[in-house]
Amino acid sequence: MTDTIIVLDFGSQYSQLIARRVRETHVYAVLLPWDTPQEQVLAYQPKGFILSGGPLSVYDPEAPYIQDFIIQSNLPLLGICYGLQALTKALGGKVAPAYNREFGSAELLGIKPSLLLNGNDGPSVWMSHGDRIEEVPPGFEVLARTANSPIAAMGDEARAYYGLQFHPEVRHTPSGAKILGRFVLDICKCNGDWYPESIIDQTVNRIQNQVGNAKVLSAVSGGVDSSVATALVQKAVGNQLTAVYVDTGLMRKNENRWVDQAFRKNLGSNLIMMDASQTFFSNLSGVTDPELKRSIIGETFIRIFESKARELGNPPFLVQGTIYPDVIESRAAERKQAQRIKTHHNVGGLPERMNFDLVEPLRYLFKDEVRIIGEYLGLPSELVWRQPFPGPGLAVRCLGALTPERVSKLQKADAIFTEVLSNAGLLIQRTGDDAPMEGTAQSFAVLLPVKAVGVMGDQRTYEEVIALRAITTDDFMTADWARLPYDLLAEVSNRIVNEVQGVNRVVFDVTSKPPATIEWE
């Protein structure tokens, strides 16, 4: 059986990121709610546990806690932020509100070398906490501190119990990956022999067990996620799958042609193209609230699929390309301590009643893992490395009222931006099997519900504004704005203003995530 690390989720925004960092060490990681029953947790035969952060204080009445069997397992433990505090409280230490809360970068000062912190790590770490450890539990020693946290790391080497007040899972802690690697490989003694193709085998088996001999519908959009999800399900069930592309009227320019070319060869007659743009625009008429847009799109989408399903003999399963950033931002109900950022149309935006069971083979994967799987499945590079596109389409990039005319403006502006970036070699790409990804991870145009005064041909104009968004990231949980060349931005702006009727101003978004999200709505 593959060596496994269990990440217990106490509600942190970064919980799945911990699991992802563990997988980077080629060790399988599973994320489970903190209160998962003992038999389900131990069924994985874990080699160790990582306790995530969380938004509450350990002394809050509703605060999650470490279940007794976790301690009684005598397996290595690593508590991160709230996980450290929960471990301290469970083992008899003292947690109290910090005099000065720590949010952001801090300098870590080593006190005692250990298997976890060996003294060669860089000093910069990322803090995000209001409580701190005042007294370590019996058997623990202080391993490191910061200016505001006298106990920033602690350890009981005899029991292989460790705690970190900082977040090693985020890129803002440069040595974080090495620290997690030591816990997983050196302390938990995992073999490090798990690779992405293992995801394919496990997922195919899971799909086959879920679906059996039933027929399956798959929603394809031309995006990376739905394409890889469809390919995985096709590998699992073959001709039981029928893929359906629904043109919502909110797709990228020339998307219909792209989807037909990309999928027709592999799916043949099992690819159905539908034009439902009039239905979507009708249902969204006058709607400007982004959450309501997502909800309407989710329900309309499902109802259309239900109608198509009746024509096809009512297949009971529907494939969706939901990935983990969708889930974590929507904050599905099972994560009790977490907070919802926004509803994704294919997660929280789905209607409560629908005639399908969902098949979501990518639900707990990050974008980069999805792309690796796509490559292993033999999907064409131009599809695997295509720019991400949100499920609600241009509805969340066309701020304000949705009309065919406004969406058409946005499609043209977005196509110009993509073309210029492509010509400059600045769309995301991988330069080799072991090379890092280069270029913008995601880039797009946004149409704002704002008009600005301009001058064209010596005449006053009063027209709409396009915002350009381009980010760099490897996990889509955090992101920075891309430092695009000024000359490139000037070229994009000039072309949009001249080629897209009804736009007279272009601006560039220089906000990171957080505090902003990648999409504007």
Supply the DSSP symbol for 516: S
Alpha-carbon distances, residue 443 vs 245, 418, 426, 481 (angstroms): 23, 7, 10, 10
* Dist. CA 29–CA 19, nearest whole Å: 5
Q: Is 378 left (phi over 0), alpha (psi -120 to 50) or beta?
A: left
Q: Are strands 480-481 and 459-472 parallel, antiparallel or unpaired?
A: antiparallel
Q: Give CA–CA dist 407/449, Å, rounded.
A: 12
Q: Where are the beta strands (DSSP E) in 176-319?
A: 216-220, 241-247, 271-275, 317-319
User: CA 15, CA 20: separation in Å to the nearest integer?
Assistant: 9
Q: Which two tokens stand for residue 14?
A: 């970064």
User: What is the full DSSP assignment across 32-75?
Assistant: EETT--HHHHHTT--SEEEE---SS-TTSTT-----HHHHHTT-
Residue found by looking up tokens 């000359």 in the block: 487
Q: Which two tokens stand for residue 398?
A: 């066309």
Which amino acid appears at position 408 of this protein? S
CA distances from 128 to 109, 169, 183, 209 (A): 17, 12, 21, 41
Burial 312-347 (b: 16+ CB within 10 A, else e): eeebebbbbbbbbbbbbbbbeeebebbeeebbbbbb
Residues whose CB is less than 8 angstroms from the CB of residue 5 and which lie 6 or more positions away in sequence, other chains included: 19, 22, 27, 28, 29, 30, 46, 47, 48, 49, 50, 184, 188, 190
Residues 504 and 461 sit within 8 Å (Cβ to Cβ): yes
User: How many helical (H) and strand (E) elements, i.e. helices and strands, does the chain have?
Assistant: 15, 21
The number of residues making up the chain comes to: 521
Active site residue 167: yes
Can you state the angle between helices 367-376 and 196-211, rounded to 10 degrees? Answer: 80
Of 332, 334, 255, 272, nearest in space to 308 by CA: 272
169 flagged as catalytic:
yes
| Coil, strand or helix at 270 | helix
Q: What are 125's strand-pairing partners? A: 106
Catalytic residue chosen out of the listed positions 26, 129, 167, 345: 167
One of 26, 102, 129, 169 is an active-site residue; which one?
A: 169
What type of residue is 412? K
Catalytically active residues, by annotation: 81, 167, 169
